[in-house]
Structure 1
Amino acid sequence: MNIIDELTWRGALNQQTDAEGLNKLVTDKKISLYCGVDPTGDSMHIGHLIPFMMMKRFQLAGHHPYILIGGATGAIGDPSGRNSERVLQTMEQVDANAEALAAQMTKLFGADAEVTMVNNYDWLSQISLLEFLRDFGKNFNLNTMLAKDVVASRLEVGISFTEFTYQILQSIDFLHLFEKHGVQLQIGGGDQWGNITAGIDLIHRMKGNQAEVYGLTIPLMLKADGTKFGKSAGGAVWLNPEKTSPYEFYQFWLNQDDRDVVKYLKYFTFLDENEIELLAQEVATQPEKRSAQKRLAEEVTTFVHGPAELKEAQKITEALFSGDLQDLNAQEISQAFGKMPTVELSPEPINVVELLVGTKISPSKRQAREDVSNGAITINGIRVTEVATMIDPKDHFDGQFVVIRRGKKKYFLGKVSQ
């Protein structure tokens, strides 16, 4: 199957400007295509990952992806998906975010000749106001711009001229990449459909209708319960390991619903149809094994973070499942328990009862003694049953942490002051 057939099987296609023409184009030759991301933050989250997974598939099929970092468009803000104006960032912040996103893209796509990274600030910043109005503004009909979903949805609450012109700037991007690099296809989320078609219209007006350019969007991804994909209990799931640790990232995929996991295998992994079908059969016949979820977590964590980080995430997962924390190091403890309730501890040895009361893990000495005597307390994975036990915070995890569990599920991370 060609790349369009594969994307169709994976359920990854939503709208296409000319499905028949694009199918013929990618069958006849290898093309250049692009997808953009604005540096409104210093990291992408997994929602951003969806169109770039599609770009990666084109890359693996021999096509040439252009990754556009919106250093210029990010400075003014895209109105899509919002009911209010964006707060403008400083150019220094935009530049820093652009650098961080470029590093993430390089990790996903590589830094060799198989991918080209561009920043639209390089060309949009060179256009004067008069050039913008004469050369480009004349090619946009106000009524057509107002009818675009992304703009129409904002008319009741209001939209500034700055955000209103966003679709013109994105259209210039497509024109520039078509002229300078022969890019023929733009990919984006469903909310980018109006911007994509505006770019195609601009190219046809300035280069003629014979110019072969296409656009396609991905479907809006919803979970089986109808909620939007991409959020966890702690908020967005980021690609930056400082924002979402590889362990947390791995756990997000490992905990997916049986009803969603096959869809996510198609979207977020490069497994072929036969392997995904076998995993789908296991979901149907042996869901308790969670084989599909494990494979999903392995594949996506490796793609985003690498094999070493996957191995570390699996090590932490196994240690927490077994309750044996002894083989974990300080960094792994920080990943595993970084978002658990935290208490501050002195580096000096302390009686276990005093520790529980002093950190308010147990509400009183009587309750603390009862918790210990009943075997409800584990320290660093070791059950403590004697009320006279002394705990030395420097004994484990490079003297940085003490992991306290009360009962079966209540974990507390003791951070040892240095």
Structure 2
Amino acid sequence: MTYHPKSDFVAVMMERGFLSDCTDYQGLDEALMQGVRPAYIGFDATAKSLHVGSLIQIMMLRWFQKTGHQPITLMGGGTTKVGDPSFRADERPLLTDVQIDDNIAGIKKVFSAYIDYDTDSPNKALMLNNAEWLDGLNYLEFLRDIGRHFSVNRMLAFESVKSRLDREQSLSFLEFNYMILQAYDFLELNRRYGCILQMGGSDQWGNIVNGIDLTRRVLDNSIFGLTSPLLTTSDGKKMGKTQDGAIWLNPDMRSPYEFWQFWRNTTDADVGRFLKLYTELPVDECERLGALQGSEVNAAKVILANEVTTLLHGAEAAEAAEATARQVFEQGGVGEDLPSFALKLGDLNIIDGKTLEREGQFLSAPALFVEAKLAKTGKDAKRLISENGALINDAPVRKDFPFVEINSLRAQTKLSAGKKRHALVQLVD
């Protein structure tokens, strides 16, 4: 990673479209100009991988380090036990300590691709876990020392809580404590590591402001908050959500090819914006590529997919994904890098134990598409077939008889849902 000796972090955030709001633009900029400063973003361990929706925050930490400062990735080993209620309609399911630890282990795998934890530089990144200070809290002492600084009236006025109450949806006392714990995180990070900045999505604004206020009251220190916009695509969809589920960052949950293909399928209107946010190409180049029209914009989408995939999975994975896409889309081939699942020839069981519906020497086509994650349910698969969108080796599945002759299945059989989503069935002994 290339480091810049003089910080211009705030300018980078503004120029590339990361910035939604900041508690004090000038004060933060001046503080960052005085030397290496720590900043953090918290990540609760609610799943074994982060998804594309978190990538904007990860890129913010990467830019923070590239502009000469110290990023802190804070794992929510403690706060995950409570669950963030921000803008949720219901309470998160409670996870066990073992589940949380397993999730943290999975999440950690991604960060080293973006952030340097091994450098000898003063801005070496830190990875911390808030269970370190939250798990041992004495409840009565915490109420006396920390709880007295919080106004319930003010907490109820924050939009993340108010919107839930306005809809008359239950908010448990457990969840209500989340913002206090997150505020305490900021206090502890400032006390222990001199952390002056918390960043996060715009839905975290209330929690961040609480931490700033608490730190001022307890330690009399000035610290800052900065938020990024909650992104949606130009067609209004939540960033990172697709028809077949979340775009996970861990390769065992979403293959590099599928990750690459997600970015290749970006709508024309989003190309320039996504290049600025998710790549390190110069802003002028991002704008030039984003302004391309017609068939020329497809070249920009390939560049976007290659750049983003290279950051996460490496250049070799990006090149393999592009080669597979070219083979599948331009040449009508199969492509070795397509997501695949194995099918036993003998008893026609999926290797994980599921048995597919069959009629004599014919196998259920909807079941194949569900197992390949090209359809969520059999009903979705049947609708895809009725619309001529389900193809096996580039031939539409018959509507009147949605089955596949077993003898016709080759060593690698390509399944296609429309023109952009593909998978392989691999036959094994």
Counterpart among 345, 363, 370 of residue 359 in structure 1: 363
Which among 176, 179, 184 is matched to residue 172 of structure 1? 184
- Residue 305 of structure 1 is matched in structure 2 by 313
- Alpha-carbon distance in structure 2 between the residues aligned to 1:37 and 1:75: 13
Letter in 1 for 2:328: L
The one-letter code sitting in structure 2 at the alignment partner of 1:44 is L
1:16-415 matched pairs, under 5 angstroms: 16-113=22-119, 114-155=124-165, 156-208=168-220, 211-281=221-291, 283-284=292-293, 287-323=295-331, 325=333, 328-329=335-336, 332-333=337-338, 335=339, 337=340, 345-346=345-346, 358-359=362-363, 396=411, 401-403=412-414, 413-415=424-426
- Report the Cα distance in structure 1 between the residues aligned to 2:332 and 2:304, rounded to whole angstroms: 25
Whole-angstrom distance in 1 between the partners of 2:254 and 2:287: 30
TM-score calculated relative to the size of structure 1: 0.81
Could you say which residue in structure 2 is the equivalent of 1:15? 21
Unpaired runs of 5+ residues, structure 2, are 1-6, 349-358, 366-390, 396-405
Q: Distance in 2 between matches of 1:167 and 1:190?
A: 14
How far the C-alpha of 1:325 sits from its partner, in A, is 4.0
Q: What is the alpha-carbon distance in structure 2 between the residues aligned to residue 142 and residue 37 of structure 1?
A: 25
**Counterpart residue identity of residue 218, structure 1:** S
Alpha-carbon offset, residue 417 of structure 1: 4.2
Quote the offset at 1:343 in angstroms: 7.2
1:44–1:24 distance in 2 versus 1, CA, 3 Å: same
Structure 1: how far apart are the matches of 2:274 and 2:146? 40
Secondary structure at the aligned position of 1:35 is classed as strand
The alpha carbon displacement at 1:358 in A equals 2.3
Distance in structure 1 (CA, Å) of the matches to 2:8 and 2:419: 51
Contact kept in structure 2, 1:325 and 1:380, CA below 8 Å? no
Q: Could you tell me which amino acid in structure 2 is paired with residue 220 of structure 1? A: L
Q: How far, CA to CA, are the matches of 1:307 and 1:239 in structure 2?
A: 16
CA contact (8 A) 1:343 1:413 kept: no
Q: Is the 8 A contact 2:59 2:114 kept in 1?
A: no
Distance 1:411 1:228 in 2: 22
Q: Identify if the C-alpha distance between structure 1 residues 410 and 138 changes in structure 2 by more than 3 Å, giving closer, same or farther.
A: closer
Shift of 1:345: 4.1
**Matched position secondary structure for 1:290:** helix
SS at match of 2:87: coil
- Give the SS at the match of 1:153: helix
Instruction: Please state how far the C-alpha of 1:189 moved relative to its aligned partner.
Output: 0.6
Preserved CA contact (<8 Å) 1:258 1:287: no
User: One-letter code of the match for 2:37?
Assistant: I
Partners of 2:146 and 2:423 lie apart in 1 by 59
**Pairwise CA distance, 1:319:** 1.7
Change (3 A) 1:404 1:119: closer
In 2: Cα distance, 1:153 partner to 1:405 partner: 42
Note if contact 2:109-2:250 (Cα within 8 Å) is conserved in structure 1. no
Contact 1:10 1:266 in 2 (8 A): yes
Question: 1:411: how far off?
Answer: 7.3
Per the TM alignment, residue 18 of structure 1 is displaced from its structure 2 partner at its CA by 0.9
In 1, the alpha carbon distance for the partners of 2:195 and 2:300 equals 37
SS of aligned partner of 2:49: coil
Q: Secondary structure, in 3 states, of the residue corresponding to 1:117? A: strand
Residues in 2 aligned to 1:415 and 1:270: alpha-carbon distance in whole angstroms: 38
Deviation at 1:320, TM superposition (A): 0.6
Task: Give the distance between the partners of 1:409 and 1:291, measured in 2 at CA.
Answer: 16
C-alpha RMSD of the superposition: 3.2
CA contact (8 A) 2:41 2:198 kept: yes
Deviations 1:145-181 (A, max 9, x none): 1111222122221211111011111111101110110
Give the secondary structure class of the aligned counterpart of 1:28.
coil
Find the aligned partners of 1:360 and 1:217 in 2 and give their Cα distance. Answer: 49
Counterpart for residue 367 of structure 1: none
Aligned counterparts of 2:193 and 2:117: Cα–Cα separation in 1: 18
Counterparts of 2:333 and 2:360 in 1: how far apart (Å)?
Answer: 20
The CA deviation at 1:126 is 1.7
What amino acid is aligned across from residue 194 of structure 2 in structure 1?
Answer: G
Alignment partner of 1:199: what SS?
A: helix
Distance 2:215 2:413 in 1: 62
Q: How far did 1:380 drift?
A: 10
The structure in which a higher percent of residues are helix is 1
Distance 1:26 1:101, change over 3 A: same
What secondary structure is seen at the aligned counterpart in 2 of 1:42? coil
3-state DSSP class of the match of 1:109?
coil
Q: Rg: which structure is higher? A: 1
CA gap of 1:404–1:60, structure 2 versus 1, over 3 A, is closer
Residues 274 and 93 of structure 1, relative CA distance in 2, 3 Å threshold: same
Which whole-Å CA distance do the structure 2 matches of 1:409 and 1:181 have between them? 47
| Paired residue total | 375
Per the alignment, in what secondary structure is the counterpart of residue 154 of structure 1?
A: helix
Residues 1:117 and 1:266: Cα distance change in structure 2 (over 3 Å) = same
